[in-house]
Structure 1
Amino acid sequence: MDVREPYEYEVSNLGGVLIPLSILSEKMDLISKEKQVIVHCKSGGRSAKAIAQLEALGFDNLWNLTGGIDAY
């Protein structure tokens, strides 16, 4: 799951679903609680924030792509 903004996703992406951190709270119904979800952004900061928000709501199947898409 890519939590960057659409303009960043257009430049480069890993093919995953785009749910920007800025609208994450509106799109949580699209995120599976049963499957593993790898969350990433440009460098890892926004994805860490997204994971913290989701974990507070009971998600426990989340993985942060260390270093983000820059490190990938």
Structure 2
Amino acid sequence: MKQVTPQEVEMLLTNKQPANIIDVREVDEVKTGKIPNAIHIPLGLLEFRMHELDKSKEYIMVCRSGGRSSMAFKLLENHGYKVINMSGGMLEWKGPVE
């Protein structure tokens, strides 16, 4: 499984590099804050909304601690998407939130 640290994701955003981030947490969790410009698709809906994603792009999967984003990673990878899991999830995120 390809992984990236929260610090590496923050560096991408700081350097204004393109980052396609998908937050798979539940609605009430996202209300506490999410990474700026992250797309919110709860894990339970990902299978039904993956058609909205572009297979030519690479997506960084994010959840609270890394477990659900790992499941999302496997689901999308099995359907031919390019994905990276953010290890540690939002518990390790020290960057800005919206």
TM over 0.5: yes
Give aligned-pair identity as a percent: 37
Matching residue of 1:23: 45
1:3 corresponds, among 2, 8, 24, to 24
Q: How many residues were matched structurally?
A: 71
Q: CA RMSD for the aligned pairs?
A: 0.9
Q: What is the one-letter code of the residue matched to 2:91?
A: D
In our comparison, the structure showing a higher alpha carbon Rg is 2
SS at match of 2:69: helix
1:56 corresponds, among 78, 83, 92, to 78
Any stretches of 5+ residues in structure 2 without a counterpart? 1-21, 94-98
Matching residue of 1:70: 91
> Which structure is higher in strand share?
2
TM score, norm. by length of structure 1:
0.92
Q: Which runs of 4+ in 1 moved over 2 A?
A: none
